[in-house]
Amino acid sequence: MSYDKDYDIIYEGLAQHVYLETSEDVQVLRSLAKRFSVRIFKEGDALWELSANSGQLHFILSGAFAEYLMDGRVPHLLRFYSKNRFAYSEDLILYSTRPATYTTCLVEARVASIPAGALAEYLMKEKLGGQLLTSLIELSMTEYRNTTYEMLQTSGIHRIHAAIEQFPDVLNLIPRKELADYLGISRASLFRSLKQLEHGKDAGTISV
């Protein structure tokens, strides 16, 4: 894939979060897209780590990542990032503090990234900057809210079904113990729910 094609995809991702009124707006946003750099991440690589002291805004071109929240020394699976999703540490980007979370690459990925400094320059100088920042914050809050809603579902089968809708490859990429912790259910309940889900598929329906 050519870099021009990558920049087109990044631009399209950015354009979903701002209102472009003029051709000048389009050119400014395309210029921002071209300031992203693309690299390959192998399984186990991190978008950001707990020791990071500078942030980046990432756009996932392919592959998948998991974000973990540290509770003392115990990591808890927080959310997933997959193709055509933005990912960033709120702590690093918004507050310039060490992150409480870290990310792990689940399957080889191509990621476009822009340093926080370059992003801040755009946010301060361009009128679209405020729109972009507001939209990214709202997106992050919405994802957290959706995850919380999933965790409030009353049964394991509800939670698994919601997680699969959000991230279809979850069953193939996340160890069962981590998935059970993420869903807030026991491993025994997870296996029972997975069997019910599979039987529902075999029968052509899923009982939720």
Same domain, 143 and 52: yes
CATH of the domain at 61: 2.60.120.10
- 172 within a domain of the structure (yes/no): yes
- The count of domains in the chain is 2
Would you state the structure tokens that stand for residue 113, as one six-digit string?
A: 């990234």
Q: Can you give the residue range of the structural domain that contains 38?
A: 3-151
pTM here is 0.80
Same domain, 140 and 174: no
Using pLDDT thresholds of 50, 70 and 90, give the confidence band for residue 102.
very high
Q: Are 114 and 70 in contact (CB under 8 A)?
A: no
H or E element at residue 156: helix 156-166
- 208 within a domain of the structure (yes/no): no
Nearest 5°: the CA angle 136, 140, 143 is 135
Same domain, 144 and 76: yes
Would you state the structure tokens that stand for residue 145, as one six-digit string?
A: 């809210």
Same domain, 65 and 137: yes
Same domain, 64 and 130: yes
Same domain, 14 and 105: yes
Same domain, 140 and 162: no
Q: What residues contact residue 85 under an 8 Å CB cut-off, 6+ apart?
A: 59, 60
Using pLDDT thresholds of 50, 70 and 90, give the confidence band for residue 193.
confident
Using pLDDT thresholds of 50, 70 and 90, give the confidence band for residue 145.
low
Mean pLDDT along residues 9-15: 93
Higher pLDDT, 8 or 183: 8
Same domain, 32 and 119: yes
Same domain, 174 and 76: no
Q: Are 6 and 62 in contact (CB under 8 A)?
A: no
Q: What is the DSSP letter of 152?
A: T
pLDDT at 134: 78
